[in-house]
Amino acid sequence: MGPSKQVPIIVTGGAGFIGANIVAALNERGHRNIIIVDRLGRGEKWKNLRGLQFEDFIDKDKFRDQVEHAAFKTPAAIIHMGACSATTELDADYLMRNNTGYTRMLADWALRENFRFITASSAATYGDGSRGYCDDDEATHGLSPLNMYGLSKHLFDEWALARGHYKRIVGLKFFNVFGPREAHKDNMRSVPHKAYHEVLAKGHISLFRSDRPDYGDGHQMRDFVYVKDAVSVVLHFLDNPQIGGLYNCGTGIARTWLQLAQAVFAAMDRETKINWVDLPPSLLGKYQYFTEADQRKLRTQGQYTKPFLTLEESVADYVKWLVAGNP
């Protein structure tokens, strides 16, 4: 099943959150001929490489240079998870180069050499959700992301759709993914990871108050996706190279932040205690109050049939990982 183990699979962002989990899942399948492309920097990202089996590690700029100068052999596939995912990043030029431009270059290479290309888009492309969360091609045009990160992903999607590229490649609009191997993300870690450590340190979980009358405190809703499900979707499309398209990757069931907090307390066998904090000025007007993946295209055109874990199942599994001392 899937690509040959003799030809390398490239995972960009392979030391990052979703990328490292993809490499681990490929290892479980017996794949060792994997090239990880990333930049480790001075943080704790390197810890995600522990226990993974791969052929080589290449700095992302060196890799880009090799691809641009045709100095890299054709791989079996590129799973492109490498990007700046900080929704608070203000350097728009950097996001255009690092997210939009880099992805276009790799997609062009894959289409030219006819190998599998799977890339990460984002639910941030949907903006405030007023146009819904439908991933049909026509519905994608005209979306208005709330931040430059979301726009950098949307611009690639528009580019690929306009050229018909999504007939041959796959883009995944990840919703709120959480789970193992995200500790290095600092302030961009998921709420479940922050919540677990906050409960240990302070006995409570901090949640944003609502500044909208139609949502009570803690009743803002998101589509929370466990990373194991996100990886399962990626591998499904790796195994089925005949399927192309832009797809939502979410459970299709929105849950409240309060329900998420209650799931963390239940998994830790603690009493629920919430510390309410005001939404910071930097997020005013840029905060999504509701996200919920429309799964119809994934289930029909994408032919993905596996059920997603519930929020409670996902959180319980993640807490077990954290209790065991994993990052």
Q: Tell me the catalytic residues.
A: 149, 185
Contact at 8 Å (CB) between 258 and 218?
A: yes
Beta strands in the chain (DSSP E): 9-12, 34-38, 56-59, 77-80, 116-122, 170-174, 176-178, 205-208, 221-222, 224-226, 245-249, 255-256, 274-277
- Report whether 130 contacts 290 (CB < 8 A): no
Which residues sit opposite 274 in a β-bridge? 205
The residue assigned the tokens 């183990």 is 5
Using DSSP's 3-state secondary structure scheme, residue 218 falls into coil
The backbone region for 31, taken as left when phi is positive above 0, alpha when psi lies in -120 to 50, beta otherwise, is beta
3-state helix, strand, coil in the chain (%, to 5): 40, 15, 40
Tokens encoding 4: 């040959």
- Angle among Cα 147, 148, 149 to the nearest 5 degrees reads 95
Report yes or no: 75 and 112 within 8 Å, Cβ to Cβ. Answer: no
Element at 76 (helix H, strand E): none
Are the beta carbons of 164 and 239 closer than 8 angstroms?
no
Q: Is the sign of the CA dihedral 66, 69, 74, 78 positive or negative?
A: positive
